[in-house]
Amino acid sequence: MIPVEPLVSWLICTNVLNEQVYQAIDSCLDQTFHNFEVVIVVNGPQNVIIFDALVIRYSEYPCVKIFKTSLMYLPFSLNLGMHYCCGKYIARMDVDDYSYPHRIEAQVAYLEHNPDVGLVGSAYYLFDESNKVTGSIKKPLGDSAIRRLMYFCNPIAHPTVMFRRAAVEKIGGYPMSIFGEDYALWVKLILTTNWRVCNLDQCLIKYRNVSLGDARYNLTAYITILETQFSALVKTLDPGWIVGMMYTLLKIATRLLLGNLKI
């Protein structure tokens, strides 16, 4: 019997259905912390087929709530999912990754003991198609270090994040873009609110290597980053954003020269 108002809402979006999706959702259900719901938004042209399959698969789990939309793009689905989330905290999860059983317990404990923190991510392991761990990625821990790196890159891994629902709803949710909606949200959060942002040193998820590829090699993703940096510059007149834009332009030029950037 789940509580009427769960403390945590998992937020998951998908437009595909395969064994990786089931493994990701199952990892969210298999947690040491039990006061949660799982909100899944199925989007895209196959939404009805995927929706029906997930409803059958998780029919015995009253904490799993599944919604569908034919509209595409992740930011829309994330904002739609947030509309249905009831938890004080929202935990993001991608459908090709895996959350360790202690993930929610660790992040809830951190946010409960740090009421000035609006968002917390974590370190993560990398794993491949055979589910073999191939390495780990550490992120900057403290708010000041994250803010310094935000000029140049995204220092918070989106699928590791738990944030306060009220904090993100107050700033209008995820900005609408094809890529980089997470980076744009973090920048908006640190520029327009007093919330601190942090990362935990623990590796709380396994992040599939192949999921790192699309945005890093897509010109649209870099243009979105430039737009976010330029908007931040206009709002703050902070020259750090000019340096950040120059760094992004350098990455674009380098990838174009190497021939590994999709145009």
- The CATH number linked to 168 is 3.90.550.10
Shared-domain flag, residues 103 and 222: no
Shared-domain flag, residues 133 and 193: yes
C-alpha span between 216 and 224 (Å, rounded): 12
Shared-domain flag, residues 221 and 172: no
Shared-domain flag, residues 171 and 120: yes
Shared-domain flag, residues 160 and 238: no
Q: Quick count: other Cβ atoms within 10 Å of Cβ 220?
A: 14
The pLDDT value given to residue 60? 95
The pLDDT value given to residue 160? 98
| Residue numbers of the chain with a pLDDT score lower than 70 | 1-4, 210-217, 263
Shared-domain flag, residues 119 and 239: no
Shared-domain flag, residues 123 and 184: yes
The pLDDT value given to residue 138? 95
Q: Quick count: other Cβ atoms within 10 Å of Cβ 238?
A: 13
| Exposure on the CB side of residue 144, measured as CA atoms within 13 A | 0
State the DSSP string of 180-200.
-HHHHHHHHHHHHS--EEEEE
The pLDDT value given to residue 217? 67
Enclosing domain of residue 173: 8-212
Query: pTM (2 decimals)?
Result: 0.91
The pLDDT value given to residue 126? 93
Residue 101 lies in a domain: yes
Structural domain total, the chain: 2
Residue 3 lies in a domain: no
